[in-house]
């Protein structure tokens, strides 16, 4: 199959070096456990797929670290090998694999799309569109492109499908949001003159920026998800895999710490304690603080290494 071959050729240069590093016994064990032969995969293809996944994530280690055999084994055993083999067999055009995929994932895919879009019609459209792409109807440079080739077994195949659907829905929404008519939007009233002195406002801006930059990733995520995205505690808890009471407690603590930090920064700027507390009464619309930018300051650094070539 062409897509598989193209992916294989992309990692071709790295594979020989890694192939010797992975124990043959581990590969044998994974080969037997994955039932790849049942889906028509050859052993060489299977080894190549594993090596590709390993090099993609560097076996879950930081970039440049040399994995030990135990770390390799732990990484591979953490993969959803059955789903990975099925996805690659579908991408390779194995009919039996497709039948199995349809029987197993077709209806859940539609239900997920309906849940994501909130509409049965839109959900079916979204699911059908993704399904067509999965089947390889899209071509690039004369070759069929199957999104299943980008799945490498980290997390379940169904979770990957749901996240892909959600990505497409969010991207579609964000693209089309600007096209929404403005007739129903009331014209904003003219801003009244700020009651807080400009000097205090600028001082408050700086104090807030400094306080937010000092928060760790989880606290910033909590603050952003709760105050910016207006997600519920339950939604945030599901994403983080914790109880919503834990989210509530962490959120409360993050808010209190941020407030303390802002107060401290204001006091450091020369305001009295009382004046600093009164500064919190300023109208937020008078502030020149871009919370999005403040909370986004590190994302490019975190994922720039995962950028596609």
Partner 1 sequence: MSVKNQHEIHPDAEVLSAFAEQVLGERERGEVLEHLAGCGRCRQVVALAREAAGAEVAARRHAPVRPRVWFRSWGLALAPVAAIAASAVVAISVHERNVERSAEVAKVEQQQLDEKAPIPSQAAPQTPAQAAPPTASPAEKPAPTERTGTARRAPVDGPDETAAAPPSEAANAPLASREELAESHDGEAHGSMGGGSTLSGNSADEKKESEVASYDEERDKEAEAEMETRDKHHFAAKRKTAPGEHEPGGSNSGSGAAGSGNSGSGAGGSSEQAAAIDQQLETQPAPATSGGGLMKFRHGAFSGIRAPNPVHLPSGLPTISIAHASERMIAIDNAGTVFLSEDSGATWEPVTTQWTGRAVLVRKKTLPQPEAAAPPAAKAESPGGTSGSGAVSESDTVFELLNDQGQVWWSAEGKIWVARRI
Residues 6+ apart with CB under 8 A from 55: 11, 14, 15, 18
Query: Is the CB of 59 or the CB of 200 nearer to partner 1?
Result: 59
Please report whether residue 150 would count as binding partner 1 according to CB under 8 A.
Answer: yes
Rounded Cα–Cα distance for residues 240 and 234 (Å): 10
Rounded Cα–Cα distance for residues 100 and 94 (Å): 10
Query: Is the CB of 180 or the CB of 303 nearer to partner 1?
Result: 303
Please report whether residue 13 would count as binding partner 1 according to CB under 8 A.
Answer: no
Stretch touching partner 1 by CB under 8 A, among 12-20, 180-188, 238-246, 276-284: 238-246
- From the list 10, 17, 115, 132, which residue makes contact with partner 1 (rule: CB under 8 A)? 115
Tokens of 96: 């039996």
Query: Is the CB of 9 or the CB of 306 nearer to partner 1?
Result: 306
Please report whether residue 228 would count as binding partner 1 according to CB under 8 A.
Answer: yes
Please report whether residue 231 would count as binding partner 1 according to CB under 8 A.
Answer: yes
Query: Is the CB of 96 or the CB of 297 nearer to partner 1?
Result: 297
Q: Which of 259, 256, 255 is nearest to 276 (CA)?
A: 259
Task: Quote the least distance from Cβ 192 to partner 1, whole Å.
Answer: 29
Query: Is the CB of 98 or the CB of 221 nearer to partner 1?
Result: 221
Rounded Cα–Cα distance for residues 97 and 86 (Å): 6
Task: Quote the least distance from Cβ 23 to partner 1, whole Å.
Answer: 21
Rounded Cα–Cα distance for residues 197 and 237 (Å): 40
Please report whether residue 214 would count as binding partner 1 according to CB under 8 A.
Answer: no
Rounded Cα–Cα distance for residues 249 and 270 (Å): 32
Please report whether residue 111 would count as binding partner 1 according to CB under 8 A.
Answer: yes
- From the list 68, 119, 167, 288, which residue makes contact with partner 1 (rule: CB under 8 A)? 167
**Hey, which residues between 52 and 91 contact partner 1 (CB under 8 A)?**
57, 60-62, 78
Please report whether residue 108 would count as binding partner 1 according to CB under 8 A.
Answer: yes
Backbone angles phi, psi at 296, to 5 degrees: -95, 5
Q: Which residues of 25-53 are buried (b: 16+ CB within 10 A; e: fewer)?
A: ebbeebbeebebeebbbeeebbbbbbbbb
Q: Which of 72, 73, 76, 55 is nearest to 64 (CA)?
A: 55
Judged on CB neighbours under 10 Å (0-12, 13-18, 19+), 207 is buried
Please report whether residue 283 would count as binding partner 1 according to CB under 8 A.
Answer: no
Rounded Cα–Cα distance for residues 275 and 258 (Å): 17
Tokens of 126: 């979204």
- From the list 102, 224, 233, 289, which residue makes contact with partner 1 (rule: CB under 8 A)? 224
Task: Quote the least distance from Cβ 222 to partner 1, whole Å.
Answer: 8
User: What H or E segment, with its residue span, contains residue 144?
Assistant: strand 143-144
Stretch touching partner 1 by CB under 8 A, among 2-10, 35-43, 218-226, 263-271: 218-226
Rounded Cα–Cα distance for residues 48 and 54 (Å): 10
Query: Is the CB of 43 or the CB of 238 nearer to partner 1?
Result: 238
Backbone CA torsion sign across 159, 162, 164, 170: negative
Residues that bind partner 1 (CB under 8 A): 57, 60-62, 78, 108, 111-116, 150-152, 154-156, 158-160, 162-167, 169-171, 174, 217-218, 220-221, 223-225, 228-229, 231, 235, 238-239, 241, 292, 295-300, 302-304, 306-308
């Amino acid at each position: 199959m062409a897509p598989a071959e193209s992916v294989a050729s992309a990692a071709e240069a790295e594979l020989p070096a890694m192939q010797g590093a992975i124990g043959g016994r581990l590969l044998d064990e994974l080969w037997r456990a994955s039932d790849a032969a049942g889906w028509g995969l050859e052993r060489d293809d299977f080894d190549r797929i594993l090596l590709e996944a390993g090099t993609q994530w560097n076996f879950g280690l930081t970039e440049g670290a040399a994995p030990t055999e135990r770390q390799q084994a732990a990484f591979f055993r953490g993969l959803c090998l059955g789903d990975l083999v099925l996805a690659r067999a579908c991408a390779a055009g194995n009919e039996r694999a497709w039948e199995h995929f349809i029987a197993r994932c077709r209806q859940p895919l539609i239900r997920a799309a309906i849940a994501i879009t909130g509409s049965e019609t839109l959900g079916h459209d979204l699911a059908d569109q993704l399904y067509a792409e999965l089947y390889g109807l899209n071509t690039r440079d004369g070759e069929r492109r199957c999104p299943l080739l980008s799945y490498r077994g980290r997390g379940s195949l169904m979770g990957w499908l749901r996240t892909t659907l959600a990505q497409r829905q969010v991207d579609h929404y964000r693209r089309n949001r600007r096209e929404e008519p403005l007739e129903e939007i009331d014209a904003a009233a003219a801003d009244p003159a700020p009651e807080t002195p400009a000097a205090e406002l600028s001082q408050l801006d700086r104090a807030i920026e400094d306080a937010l930059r000092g928060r760790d990733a989880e606290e910033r995520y909590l603050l952003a998800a709760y105050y910016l995205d207006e997600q519920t505690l339950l939604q945030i808890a599901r994403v983080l895999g914790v109880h919503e009471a834990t989210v509530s407690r962490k959120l409360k603590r993050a808010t209190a710490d941020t407030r303390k930090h802002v107060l401290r920064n204001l006091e450091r700027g020369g305001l009295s304690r009382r004046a600093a507390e009164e500064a919190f009464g300023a109208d937020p619309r008078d502030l020149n603080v871009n919370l999005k930018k403040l909370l986004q300051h590190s994302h490019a650094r975190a994922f720039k290494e995962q950028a596609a070539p």
